[in-house]
């Protein structure tokens, strides 16, 4: 076979091979295009997560630091311990105040019970004594009125007796004068013996009447003195009883104020109960402050940026370290033209730049309402100057559904490439 005959055959096979290759490439391109339409991907994505700043809630000197940088800790694990001496003393002081207040409240409660028990009996007894004293005053006033009447009657009798004595004295003087005159006349035989005897008899009779009148006057004076003495005694008794009435009235009024004392005791008890609540709150606050001297991990994760050592003085709120939480997610900044078919819940495959062999699974959790540029520190002002349309990027949060292998250290800020299956 001549060379001219062989050349056409080689050209035919070459063309056939080229056509086959072009066909395969076309089919691969179509398949690739069809498959690419089902996914949206971007290299503008990174790992994000909770970075918890650890700081003490109370000031104090750092006694111990129990962790180092990049150490894994569990939730509630002790990280830093502050010197608790001051807080223990404050707690002891608060507990002592609470015990003192509770003792005073117990005493006040006992006083309230005693006052409530005694009040009724004292009030009843004071009221009975006051009533009895007033009745005695009324009796003595009536007796004093009777004594006054007796004095008046005795004075009238005395005056009448004295008047009678004077009248009888005048009659006796007349009778005695007549008897003397009759004796003189009888001595001269100018009257008879019978007339003389009658005159002397009259004189003796009037003298006897005078003596009787004087005795009667003396008796009436004695009665008057007795009546005045009774009046004086009754007056003294009345004054004494009136003093007793005033004293009983004072005791009664004091007894009536006993309910006020009960209310005062109740107010004391209520005030001390309120003080107990305040002291209990102070004790709880002191206990909390003491517990805050132990700084624990708020979440599980890895310790980073530890900035304290034993012996340092830490202020309340001062950042001692940070903990990178195990809760990680992906923030992917897709172009706004890639969001047409993207919805929350769609599956996502994530490749980590640091570990090409690692592939993580996730799902679209949410799409931010607005572009990233709009929420930047200096958002663009498209209404000023010449406007150039630029495709914006919108942050999409992707939740990781697969567990991170322990041999890979994946943390916030690491670059990833997510692929969202949108169809």
Q: In this structure, are 77 and 108 located in the same domain?
A: no
pLDDT at 378 over 70: yes
Is there a domain that residue 104 lies in?
Answer: yes
Whether 198 and 146 map to the same domain: the answer is yes
pLDDT in tens, 344-359: 999 999 999 999 999 9
- More confident: 195 or 312: 312
Q: Are residues 310 and 260 in the same domain?
A: no
**What's the whole-number average pLDDT of the chain?**
83
Co-location of 261 and 341 in the same domain? no
Q: What is the CATH number of the domain that holds 123?
A: 1.10.287.620
**Residue 409 pLDDT > 90, yes or no?**
no
How distant, in Å, are the alpha carbons of 12, 138, 139, 169, 199 from that of 175? 211, 55, 53, 10, 7
Long-range Cβ contacts of 225-228 (<8 Å, 24+ apart): 226/154, 227/147, 227/150, 227/151, 227/153, 227/154, 228/151, 228/154
Task: Give the per-residue pLDDT at 268.
Answer: 83
* Residue pLDDT, tens place only, 260-308: 666 777 788 888 899 999 999 999 999 999 999 999 999 999 999 999 9
Which of 248, 270, 292 terminates a domain? The answer is 270
Which of 28-32, 167-171, 306-310, 373-377 has the lowest average pLDDT?
A: 28-32
Least confident of 63-72, 204-213, 304-313, 388-397: 204-213
* Domain tally, the chain: 2
Query: 249 pLDDT exceeds 70?
Result: no
CATH code (residue 73): 2.40.30.170
Higher pLDDT, 10 or 268: 268
Residue finishing a domain among 218, 253, 270: 270
Q: What's the mean pLDDT in 166-190?
A: 78
In a domain, 49, yes or no: yes
Judge whether 175 lies within some domain. Answer: yes
Query: What residues does 396 pair with on adjacent strands?
Result: 332, 367
Let me know if residue 24 belongs to a domain. no
Is residue 82 a contact partner of residue 60, using CB atoms and an 8 Å limit? Answer: yes
B/e letters for 40-56, b = 16+ CB within 10 Å, e = fewer, are: bbbeebebbbeeeebbb
When pLDDT is averaged across residues 34-45 and rounded to a whole number, the result is 82
Q: Are 99 and 79 part of one and the same domain?
A: no
Q: What band does 254 get if pLDDT is binned at 50, 70 and 90?
A: low
163/46 same-domain check: no
Q: DSSP labels for 256-288?
A: HTHHHHHHHHHHHHHHHHHHHHHHHHHHHHHHH
Residues 206-230 have a mean pLDDT of 81
pLDDT at 123: 58
In a domain, 340, yes or no: yes
Looking at the structure, tell me whether residues 135 and 48 fall in a common domain. Answer: no
DSSP classification of residue 370:
S
Average pLDDT over every residue of 395-414: 90
Domain co-membership, 416 together with 361: yes
DSSP 3-state of 135? helix
| Domain membership flag for residue 217 | yes
Q: Looking at the structure, tell me whether residues 259 and 164 fall in a common domain.
A: yes
Last residue within a domain, chosen from 255, 270, 285 = 270
CA-based nearest residue to 96, from 85, 108, 88 = 88
Q: Is residue 160 part of a domain?
A: yes
d(CA 171, CA 164): 10
Mean pLDDT across the stretch 112-128? 63
Residue 310 belongs to what domain range? 41-83+300-421
Alpha carbons 393 and 336: distance in angstroms, whole number: 6
Same domain, 348 and 262: no
Residues 99 and 211 in one domain: yes
pLDDT more than 90, % of the chain: 41
Residue 282 lies in a domain: no
- Per-residue pLDDT band for 321 (boundaries 50, 70, 90) equals very high
Query: What backbone torsions phi and psi does residue 119 show, to the nearest 5 degrees?
Result: -60, -50
Does one domain contain both 108 and 181? Answer: yes
């Amino acid at each position: 076979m001549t060379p001219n005959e062989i050349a056409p055959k080689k050209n035919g096979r070459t063309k056939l091979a080229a056509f086959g290759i072009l066909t395969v490439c076309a089919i691969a391109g179509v398949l690739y295009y069809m498959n690419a339409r089902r996914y949206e991907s971007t290299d503008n994505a990174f790992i994000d997560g909770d970075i918890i700043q650890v700081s003490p809630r109370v000031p104090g000197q750092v006694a111990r630091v129990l962790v180092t940088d990049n150490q894994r800790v569990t939730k509630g694990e002790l990280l830093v311990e502050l010197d608790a001496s001051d807080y223990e003393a404050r707690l002891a002081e608060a507990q002592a105040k609470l015990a003192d207040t509770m003792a005073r409240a117990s005493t006040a409660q006992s006083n309230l019970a005693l006052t409530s028990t005694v009040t009724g009996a004292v009030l009843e007894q004071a009221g009975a004594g006051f009533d009895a004293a007033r009745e005695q005053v009324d009796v003595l006033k009536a007796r004093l009125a009777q004594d006054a009447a007796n004095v008046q009657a005795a004075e009238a009798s005395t005056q009448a007796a004295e008047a009678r004595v004077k009248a009888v004295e005048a009659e006796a003087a007349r009778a005695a004068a007549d008897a003397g005159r009759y004796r003189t006349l009888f001595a001269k035989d100018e009257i008879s013996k019978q007339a003389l005897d009658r005159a002397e008899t009259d004189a003796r009779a009037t003298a006897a009447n005078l003596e009787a009148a004087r005795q009667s006057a003396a008796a009436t004076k004695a009665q008057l003195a007795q009546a005045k003495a009774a009046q004086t005694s009754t007056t003294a008794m009345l004054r004494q009883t009136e003093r007793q009435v005033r004293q009983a009235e004072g005791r009664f009024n004091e007894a009536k104020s006993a309910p006020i004392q009960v209310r005062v005791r109740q107010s004391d008890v209520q005030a001390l109960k309120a003080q107990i609540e305040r002291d209990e709150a102070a004790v709880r606050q002191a206990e909390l402050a003491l517990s805050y001297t132990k700084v624990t991990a708020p979440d599980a994760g890895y310790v980073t940026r530890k900035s304290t050592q034993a012996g340092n003085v830490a202020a309340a709120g001062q950042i001692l370290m940070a903990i990178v939480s195990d809760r990680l997610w992906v923030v992917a900044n897709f172009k706004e033209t890639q969001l047409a078919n993207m919805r929350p819940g769609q599956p996502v495959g994530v490749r980590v730049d640091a570990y090409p062999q690692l592939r993580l699974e996730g799902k679209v959790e949410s799409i931010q309402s607005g572009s990233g540029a709009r929420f930047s520190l200096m958002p663009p002002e498209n209404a000023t100057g010449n406007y150039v349309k630029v495709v914006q990027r919108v942050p999409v949060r992707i939740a990781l559904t697969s567990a991170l292998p322990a041999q890979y250290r994946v943390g916030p800020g690491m670059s990833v490439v997510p692929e969202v299956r949108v169809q």
